[in-house]
Structure 1
């Protein structure tokens, strides 16, 4: 068979499976993905699907975790992972300690200064 035709059929199967994936149980999705891959390998004489197709198939298997938008899923799940959007959100929330922050903590804790900030004073005219 023509490899372009086989690739077109593979993409069509993946498109249809993506449409119904959320309604299926995980084991059903795994079995369907395995069947699609085995059919492709058999029809192409031992060639594996391209990287993009394999990524799409893996996303079909993991659709429940990908669609999960729970902010605490890292803490609540046994094997959590974050979507690309969630990784960006997490990086925005986290920040590294800068030298000035470390210096402030040093002034506050080690030197036992009650306040490392400049005190506000009132002008004599007020």
Structure 2
């Protein structure tokens, strides 16, 4: 008897004992063989997607979140640069870049720092 049939035979034996059912070893083996065959077709009856589909979905989700955060950051940066232009009355053609720790640099043919 294969390991697979041994497993199912034991399952049937335990289930029969739990409900008080008495059966012969031949009956138990026949049921175990049937259950084993049915179990082989379980995937056709109850679809279970491959794990790669879930991984792909997770990757799509984080990429969407990343793109949304990136767009939000770019909008924030653009608004901050407009605010610096207005606050310091810079010409709108003056390039402004906001660096780490709030440092602001303007470039209009000459460079300057606003602290």
TM-score band by shorter chain is under 0.3
Higher relative contact order (CA 8 A, sep 6+): 1
Per the normalisation by structure 1, the TM-score is 0.21
More strand by share: 2
Larger C-alpha radius of gyration, 1 or 2? 2
Per the normalisation by structure 2, the TM-score is 0.22
